[in-house]
Structure 1
């Protein structure tokens, strides 16, 4: 069995993996123009700022995965700053649902939040992200 010049079908899983990696890290040579305005129509899920406030009140301002604290690193500029992550992504809900800030939301720094959502269709759990961080420290 050898290589073929004819196209082959990729499994959906393989295609998602390849596309998400390409989208995340497209690199082009040379200088390109940026900053043109594009209008698009898309879906955006409403969030309640009270849930965010209550989650921070309960869990604090340290990243749940890596313990990063913006104020400790950036001083006054980082004071009271952290992203809040929905443990169950809103995009998986069939309809609007009640969110429990204590159980459904956790604070994550921008880097950890991005890594959790980096691959389309593959949202990492906080435990999976912590395992990755621990492995990298070894």
Structure 2
């Protein structure tokens, strides 16, 4: 009976160690860049925002977790120490339109009012359409 408890404890300890290793790996796993990926959709910022504004559930089915290449007018640029955020204008939006988050600080000078093309992964719609893991195309 004593040796059976020892094996059960050893089994539980092994599961904890394996689970901890998997958790550590998943936590530290890097997100791949979109640099060499093809876009699922190429669309303007106004059109993308309007699709979400008019029918959010259908737009989510179509765009969520897809790679989207969007072109629009920059209305906001925020550079932090390690990342950047660019918001593209949409005419129907009360404020904002398409929110593009970058994993790194933008080296290129992007000014308010310029027209840019950005590729990112669509995460859904809050007040803006949200694109994460973005890459500046031009």
> Normalised by the shorter chain, which TM-score bucket?
under 0.3
TM-score (norm 1): 0.28
TM-score (norm 2): 0.28
Structure number with the higher strand fraction is 2
Q: Which has the higher contact order (CA 8 A, sep 6+)?
A: 1
Structure number with the higher helix fraction is 1
